[in-house]
């Protein structure tokens, strides 16, 4: 009964009614919610990730189509930059909050690891898109994406330089040496790994940062060093 009510609630939010409610259910059960994975059927355990994979591809195609026809004066580079901005993890997390997916998604919340929680919620947006595609086809998925992404198509992407690139240039100019990144550890489950790296720039304080990928962790570490350099 409660699950039926929740299904109706999220269907009202996303403005799509599932023909097969199992498709919706599969998109809202993250593998981290299973305490005993050994006793779960493999096909059911990994259905979220399969839908996420599918949703990622559909989202990319749909956004590419939307911006291609909307921005006639954009060259390939500008279109690529706009696409990257609209499908990045931080943006997907923003959409997840707008859809209130945290109220519907079943996953193991990590109080001490907000990075992992944000990443899982971002993944759930792609899983939801995949489930809409499976249930109603591309047109239904595209309609959903168009509705929730269209208000943001005109947003200006940040022109700030990538933190790693910026730090590398500063380090070479000031210290004549490249930053030194080192992977310290990898934690979390195989479906939601968290990487922690350290970063050293000459005699400056060594900083540590975490992320869902090594690149993301390095980026966060570079931000910390840049803040130290600028005196923030």
Q: Dihedral of the CA atoms 223, 213, 122, 26 (nearest 10)?
A: -170
Tokens of 135: 């249930």
Looking at residue 8, its pLDDT comes to 78
Looking at residue 189, its pLDDT comes to 72
For residue 208, the surrounding DSSP H or E stretch is: strand 207-211
Which residue, 152, 183, 215, sits at the end of a domain?
152
Looking at residue 114, its pLDDT comes to 61
Which residues of the chain register pLDDT less than 70? Answer: 1-7, 34-45, 109-116, 157-161, 191, 232
Claim to verify: residue 66 and residue 133 sit in the same structural domain: yes
Looking at residue 219, its pLDDT comes to 87
Claim to verify: residue 142 and residue 170 sit in the same structural domain: no
Does the residue 157 lie in any domain? no
For residue 80, the surrounding DSSP H or E stretch is: helix 76-87
Print the domain residue range for 209: 163-230
pTM over 0.85: no
Q: Decide if 116 contacts 110 (C-beta within 8 A).
A: yes
What CATH number should be reported for the domain holding residue 82?
A: 1.10.1520.10
Does the residue 87 lie in any domain? yes
Does the residue 130 lie in any domain? yes
Claim to verify: residue 44 and residue 144 sit in the same structural domain: yes
Phi and psi angles of residue 198, each rounded to the nearest 5 degrees, phi first = -115, 155
**Catalytic residue IDs:** 56, 126
What CATH number should be reported for the domain holding residue 167?
A: 3.30.160.20
Give residues with Cβ within 8 angstroms of 141, minimum separation 6.
55, 58, 62, 129, 132, 133
For residue 7, the surrounding DSSP H or E stretch is: helix 2-14
Which residue, 117, 152, 187, sits at the end of a domain?
152
Q: Give the Cα separation of 172 and 84 in Å (integer).
A: 28
How many domains would you assign to the chain? 2
Burial of 170 (0-12, 13-18, 19+ CB in 10 A): middle
Claim to verify: residue 168 and residue 146 sit in the same structural domain: no
Does the residue 186 lie in any domain? yes
Does the residue 193 lie in any domain? yes
Q: Give the Cα separation of 113 and 219 in Å (integer).
A: 17
- Kindly report, residue by residue over 10-26, the tens digit of the pLDDT: 999 999 999 999 999 99
Looking at residue 2, its pLDDT comes to 39
Claim to verify: residue 17 and residue 99 sit in the same structural domain: yes
Q: Give the Cα separation of 97 and 80 in Å (integer).
A: 25
Looking at residue 12, its pLDDT comes to 93
Claim to verify: residue 148 and residue 172 sit in the same structural domain: no
Looking at residue 1, its pLDDT comes to 41
Claim to verify: residue 29 and residue 80 sit in the same structural domain: yes
Claim to verify: residue 171 and residue 97 sit in the same structural domain: no
Looking at residue 6, its pLDDT comes to 60
């Amino acid at each position: 009964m409660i699950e039926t009510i929740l299904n109706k609630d999220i269907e009202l939010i996303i403005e799509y009614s599932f023909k097969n409610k199992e498709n919706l259910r599969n998109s809202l059960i993250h593998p981290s919610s299973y305490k005993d994975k050994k006793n779960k059927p493999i096909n059911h355990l990994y259905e979220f990730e399969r839908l996420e994979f599918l949703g990622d591809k559909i989202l990319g195609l749909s956004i590419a189509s939307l911006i291609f026809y909307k921005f006639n004066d954009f060259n390939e580079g500008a279109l690529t930059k706009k696409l990257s901005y609209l499908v990045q993890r931080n943006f997907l997390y923003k959409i997840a909050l707008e859809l209130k997916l945290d109220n519907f998604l079943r996953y193991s919340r990590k109080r001490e690891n907000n990075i992992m929680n944000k990443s899982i919620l971002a993944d759930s947006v792609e899983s939801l898109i995949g489930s809409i595609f499976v249930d109603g086809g591309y047109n239904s998925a595209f309609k959903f994406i168009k509705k929730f992404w269209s208000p943001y198509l005109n947003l200006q992407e940040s022109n700030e330089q990538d933190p790693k690139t910026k730090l590398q240039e500063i380090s070479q100019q000031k210290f004549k040496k490249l930053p030194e990144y080192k992977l310290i550890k990898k934690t979390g489950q195989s479906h939601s790994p968290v990487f922690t790296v350290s970063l050293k720039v000459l005699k400056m304080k060594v900083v540590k940062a975490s992320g869902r990928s090594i690149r993301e962790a390095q980026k966060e570490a570079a931000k910390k060093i840049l803040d130290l350099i600028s005196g923030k």
